[in-house]
Amino acid sequence: AQKITQTQPGMFVQEKEAVTLDCTYDTSDQSYGLFWYKQPSSGEMIFLIYQGSYDEQNATEGRYSLNFQKARKSANLVISASQLGDSAMYFCAMIFPLQEGGSEKLVFGKGTKLTVNP
Amino acid sequence: EAGVTQFPSHSVIEKGQTVTLRCDPISGHDNLYWYRRVMGKEIKFLLHFVKESKQDESGMPNNRFLAERTGGTYSTLKVQPAELEDSGVYFCASSQEGGGGNTIYFGEGSWLTVV
């Protein structure tokens, strides 16, 4: 069964420093995608970054980068130069390819609460 | 371009009452999903529409939950009768035509409290 594990319920980082949020996954599928979402206190789920299992390079989106290590089945999110506005819940999620008669489902981890201190 | 919008943002109802949540996906997105997060637990898949058809409703907890997407546009999720364990955040999401790499966009969620 597919599973996402986020082992850090909470993380603290000083403003302007970098932080790594851990995510490991378990799947026997060869084709899948990995997402990171941010959920601030206002509640919305904000898409941050996506990595496909066949992508050879790590995904980057501005201050966000995904440290994808396929053999270790890890997809850690690195946030560089943390800002106060980065304080939020962060969810790692995995998606599987659409199969005939099937469905694209996101499987989520429990989330990591990041607090950026001034 | 408007994102995924959900209504109501918050709802407090008594056990046994009915609540209907609405989701308007991003215009042109054929895929529409409902997810739920019960307090302290993971976000769980409920169901997936492709246009007006239910592609997968394997995550629906029980027959008290009914989802519809008439005309392939907005969707509603009705809980009738609501129970205490239904409390949580109900997220709607949408994406373009199938393919695992399409970004899935979420709404702000509908926070349901059953008392």
Judge: B89–A37 Cβ closer than 8 Å, yes or no.
Answer: no
Contact A37 B111 (CB under 8 A): no
Q: Which residue has the higher pLDDT, B82 or A98?
A: B82
Can you list the alpha helix ranges (DSSP code H) found in A1-118? Answer: none
B41 pLDDT band (50/70/90 cuts)?
confident
Does the pLDDT of residue B99 top 60, yes or no?
no
Q: Do A47 and B105 touch (CB under 8 A)?
A: yes
**What is the CB neighbour count within 10 angstroms for residue A109?**
24
Q: Model confidence over A50-78: pLDDT tens digits?
A: 998 888 899 999 999 999 999 999 999 99
Highest-pLDDT range among A1-5, A25-29, A79-83, A97-101:
A79-83
Residue A102 pLDDT level (bands cut at 50, 70, 90): low
Average pLDDT of every residue of chain B: 91
Distance from the Cα of B18 to chain A's closest Cα (Å) equals 23
**A25 pLDDT above the threshold of 70:** yes
Q: What is the pLDDT of residue A108?
A: 93
Closest CA to A37 of B64, B107, B66, B62: B107
Distance CA A28, CA A3 (A): 10
Task: Identify the H or E element spanning A91.
Answer: strand A88-95
Which of A44, A107, A110 is the mutation pick for testing B, counting most B CBs within 10 A?
A: A44
Distance CA(A61)–CA(B103), nearest Å, equals 13
In the structure, what pLDDT confidence band is assigned to residue A99 with cuts at 50, 70 and 90? low
3 state SS of A69: strand
Find out whether A113 and A9 touch, Cβ atoms under 8 Å.
Answer: yes
